[in-house]
Amino acid sequence: MSLLDRLKQLFADAKQVKETAPAATAASMVELPDGQTSIPERRGRERVNAVAGTKVLVIDDSATIVALMSRMLKQNEYEVLEAEDAEKGLEIAYRDNPAIIFLDIVLPGMSGFTALRHLRQDPRTKNIPIIMISGNEQATEQFYVQRIGADDFMKKPFSRAELFTRIQKLLDKNFVPVRFNEYVHASETTSEEDNSDQVAENENEAEKSN
């Protein structure tokens, strides 16, 4: 094939791609409720948020993490409560009744594990969804926090998408955060005496790994 023939073929191929592009774009559109087709399919699956004004308590000793989460949440119309340690976090939780709590595992003074147990034992907070956060990637830690009453686990560092995905998983049909995990509820029926040794051992191991 001569150079001229090859150039002609390239132009023909380019023309064909251009002509088929609109059809490909149309195929990626989704049907909206009113019958209009106007947005790509990937944007048709919009993130679901809790109702505006939903209270979220963030308990973390890292000012950077707290500021980051607070900014993200406020941009989506959540009301954010902040605590730099477990003791203050418990005080706020008992007083202000947040809809969701993000609780760091390693905190100065009282650990996140201990705070979690206090929250689950108190009738004012026992039904609040709690998402534990940690820089530790150990699968055993994720399993353990659910065993003692957490509803989910989020590893640092996290993205904006992951933060809101964690919240979305906890929303009921009215966009209100609730506890869905049946395994969590069943595990909480186990007595504190039966688990006390294992609780202490797992807390120590998890805190060392962070």
Domain positions in the chain are: 3-44, 55-209
CATH of domain 55-209: 3.40.50.2300
Question: Starting from the edge strand earliest in sequence, which strands make up the sheet with 130-134, in order?
Answer: 79-83, 55-59, 100-104, 130-134, 152-155
pTM assigned to the model? 0.67
Q: Which residue do the tokens 């251009």 mark?
A: 18
Residue 102: per-residue pLDDT: 97
With beta carbons less than 8 A apart as the criterion, state whether 55 and 30 touch: no
pLDDT average per 10 residues of sequence, the chain (210 residues): 58 53 40 43 60 96 95 96 98 97 94 94 96 78 75 90 94 90 47 43 50
Residue 42: per-residue pLDDT: 39
Residue 136: per-residue pLDDT: 76
